[in-house]
Structure 1
């Protein structure tokens, strides 16, 4: 998990600033270390999973209310704990809607995928957890962190952490991958954490470490040089995924590590791709925070489902890190995006604050 030092406010006491910065770094490092210690032993118990092609999944509704502070344009329609006995189920970092079945497909940091029944749903349904075919040139781990698709051609693109690679699956089942030179200097655990294919064919890719972004004019596998830009989210939030809205803007999902149980806070922000400039900060506008006790988890996947009326269903899925101490939560949000639209010129600052 990448982290960044907190950006202190400018005051007249340099010594105090230095002390606060050191304390902030120490507190954040302590949280990250504690999280690693919590996850590591339990993850070990679930290592080397047996992947089955037909296992059952249950959606357990959570009794949670609309979070305080959310705008009127955003409504929590449901929250579920996704339960499954297959040890390979979980660790989901990317989510998409399968156009043929109209179901949800989640991709994991172990190179597997699973079909998740669309809630509301009662009883059990086959999850069909399976591993994607390995490319012999992509060594393990097969850590999938992002997914995007072209509904017209049926192609999907997967972003692989550790390799800084983008892999394209064509509708006929063949695949190719590229490791763009522009991502070569990204650390092995920082990207491509978030990726979206825009409706005009361009691709946006964000590194998890939060300050680097790339805008490809076309499919990254065509070899074109991308435009470089940066983002400046509030506090220590880092991007985990993104998806495009029907009006052209992008919803960005971000996460922070906090002093809480589970030790995560999530943030939804909105951004306009037309405002991306070479070597400039992409303006972001805060939409809502997800840090209520009953909803708090490690959300890493997002997908958007328009309804054609100026609103959309937004699905979020949490990565349980294959740990028995965390949950695979699925959230269903209703977002009236037309009511909350804001142009780049209206944004108050680079972070929309």
Structure 2
């Protein structure tokens, strides 16, 4: 989502500167969560992309002025405050994490692929960026996606289609799910859209399709895509959810509370879903929340609440938090990486935050 530009005085106060039936082709989609898939690229991602200069300042405290590291069910490992003189590479809205946390592939909300290596400590704390590159997404005709109606790309997940790894990207304003080859390259073109129900295609424009995650094959969702709208018909409606493919295809909803909107989702190794939510308004200021939803509860007709893993506000190092990815490190610990979209505004920040889930 593109948030409206904030007045400088407000920004300072916020501390922002510091059951449907699918056609046969869709029903054969066999998807699994990105955190269990090996990195199939033969070398660095987007090695033929355009190099870009990114700088990163380390964030060692999540709560401003406090040494606390435990927040709800999560332990803060560290973060990076990322800046670039190239405004095209701002607006990072979704990501996947590869190679046990050492490589990031992100999408921007104007149709770009962005990738960089991540130097990290043994516990997964991010230390520095390596070799950042970017390239425009291309439609099936080779036209840059940012020049089309599907330019507002908000989330990305790595899954399988008929046994083959592919990238799936959500486009908010057009409310489409797009398929791209894996691994991405500068000349990669859109393969096709994914067949989706009418209700998904009719979500609100700038409050439309935001979150996208590929479920594990082995779980009750059988590799389905889970898509979640940023908001329902109004602020009082629940969040609309869609199960695309798999044995439970259909629609569900997630209770909306405390003025939070959905921005991304990712599956944990045990098959549960984590939902990232973002809040911004003049009364509550800025907020971030993570909810865990049991995989077995995600079924057509369900109204889901979930367990709150963590909630943060203006006293924490957050911004417009929009991207979520999950991976396991070499010791089998579950790591969450969260990314913010700076809307290419000088008043906002691109933050990459790392947490460990404490089960």
| TM-score range relative to shorter protein | 0.7 to 0.9
| 1:215 matches 2:243 | yes
Shift of 1:217: 2.6
Determine if contact 1:269/1:286 at 8 Å carries over to the other structure.
yes
| 1:188 matches 2:197 | no
Q: CA 1:185–1:122 in 2, change beyond 3 Å: closer, same or farther?
A: closer
Aligned to 1:114: 114
Aligned to 1:313: 335
| 1:303 matches 2:325 | yes
- Structure 1 residue corresponding to 2:135, chosen from 130, 146, 153: 130
Q: CA 1:65–1:264 in 2, change beyond 3 Å: closer, same or farther?
A: closer
Question: Which one has the bigger strand percentage?
Answer: 2
The unaligned stretches of length 5 or more in structure 1 are: 3-31, 40-51, 219-223, 340-353
- Cα deviation, 1:4-23, whole Å, max 9, x if unaligned, reads xxxxxxxxxxxxxxxxxxxx
Determine if contact 2:150/2:176 at 8 Å carries over to the other structure.
no
- Structure 2 residue corresponding to 1:140, chosen from 137, 149, 165: 149
Greater CA drift, 67-76 or 324-333: 67-76
Q: How do residues 66-81 of structure 1 correspond to structure 2 at under 5 angstroms?
A: 70-71=70-71, 73-81=73-81
Q: CA 1:227–1:141 in 2, change beyond 3 Å: closer, same or farther?
A: closer
- Structure 2 residue corresponding to 1:279, chosen from 301, 318, 322: 301
- Structure 2 residue corresponding to 1:169, chosen from 176, 180, 198: 180
Determine if contact 2:93/2:341 at 8 Å carries over to the other structure.
yes
TM-score by length of 2: 0.71
Aligned residues: 288
Shift of 1:189: 1.7
- Cα deviation, 1:292-318, whole Å, max 9, x if unaligned, reads 534120010010011365631110000
SS, match of residue 268 in structure 1: strand
Equivalents in 2 of 1:257, 1:122: separation in Å? 29
Q: CA 1:212–1:320 in 2, change beyond 3 Å: closer, same or farther?
A: same
SS, match of residue 88 in structure 1: helix
Equivalents in 1 of 2:164, 2:54: separation in Å? 30
- Cα deviation, 1:220-272, whole Å, max 9, x if unaligned, reads xxxx99411111032111110011101110111001114489x4200011001
Tell me: higher relative CO, structure 1 or 2? Use CA pairs within 8 A at least 6 residues apart.
2
Shift of 1:179: 5.6
Question: Which one has the bigger helix percentage?
Answer: 1
Q: CA 1:86–1:36 in 2, change beyond 3 Å: closer, same or farther?
A: closer
Q: CA 1:333–1:101 in 2, change beyond 3 Å: closer, same or farther?
A: closer
Q: CA 1:125–1:215 in 2, change beyond 3 Å: closer, same or farther?
A: same
Greater CA drift, 135-144 or 285-294: 135-144
The unaligned stretches of length 5 or more in structure 2 are: 9-48, 121-125, 218-222, 233-238
Q: CA 1:273–1:81 in 2, change beyond 3 Å: closer, same or farther?
A: same
Determine if contact 1:58/1:125 at 8 Å carries over to the other structure.
no
Q: CA 1:293–1:100 in 2, change beyond 3 Å: closer, same or farther?
A: closer
Larger Rg: 1
Q: CA 1:119–1:327 in 2, change beyond 3 Å: closer, same or farther?
A: farther
- Cα deviation, 1:19-43, whole Å, max 9, x if unaligned, reads xxxxxxxxxxxxx8xx44549xxxx
Determine if contact 1:217/1:226 at 8 Å carries over to the other structure.
yes
Equivalents in 1 of 2:291, 2:282: separation in Å? 22
Aligned to 1:203: 225
- Cα deviation, 1:281-335, whole Å, max 9, x if unaligned, reads 0231111012153412001001001136563111000000011110000101111
Q: CA 1:296–1:93 in 2, change beyond 3 Å: closer, same or farther?
A: same
Shift of 1:157: 0.4
TM-score by length of 1: 0.73
